[in-house]
């Protein structure tokens, strides 16, 4: 009895295939409109990115310069804290050591991230 019930009920695919021509025309129209809209959004997004790439590059350069200045200030303050005033040979050596320590630390972190 359950087999006859399953056969009497049309499958989803059979239901889709039995749609009228008008229904298929609406489906095609909606599909085409969505296709055009999605292409328009994609093209608009590309144009937006192309127009804003120079601004993004400038912002990145400003951020890099600001970070370099912050690091330089930190190095100066640290070396002065330990009795090496700016402009002395000891201060230059201290700053070079701090730069090396930062580089080695960044390399260790990068290596750990590639793990």
Q: Where does the pLDDT of residue 1 fall: very low under 50, low under 70, confident under 90, or very high at 90 and above? A: very low
Domain ranges of the chain: 2-113
31: three-class secondary structure by DSSP: helix
| Structure confidence by residue, pLDDT tens digits, 54-93 | 999 999 999 999 999 999 999 999 999 999 999 999 999 9
DSSP state letter for 1: -
CB–CB of 91/84 below 8 Å?
yes
pLDDT in tens, 95-115: 999 999 999 999 999 999 986
Q: Which residues contact 19 (CB under 8 A, 6 or more apart)?
A: 27
């Amino acid at each position: 009895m359950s087999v006859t019930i399953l056969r009497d009920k049309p499958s989803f695919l059979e239901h889709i295939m039995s749609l009228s021509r008008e229904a298929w025309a609406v489906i095609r129209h909606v599909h085409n409109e969505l296709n055009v809209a999605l292409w328009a959004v994609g093209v608009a997004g590309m144009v937006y990115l192309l127009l804003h790439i120079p601004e993004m590059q400038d912002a990145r350069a400003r951020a890099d310069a600001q970070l370099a200045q912050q690091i330089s200030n930190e190095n100066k303050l640290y070396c002065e804290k330990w009795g090496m005033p700016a402009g002395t040979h000891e201060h230059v050596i201290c700053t070079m050591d701090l730069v090396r320590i930062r580089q080695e630390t960044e390399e260790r972190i990068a290596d750990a991230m590639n793990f």
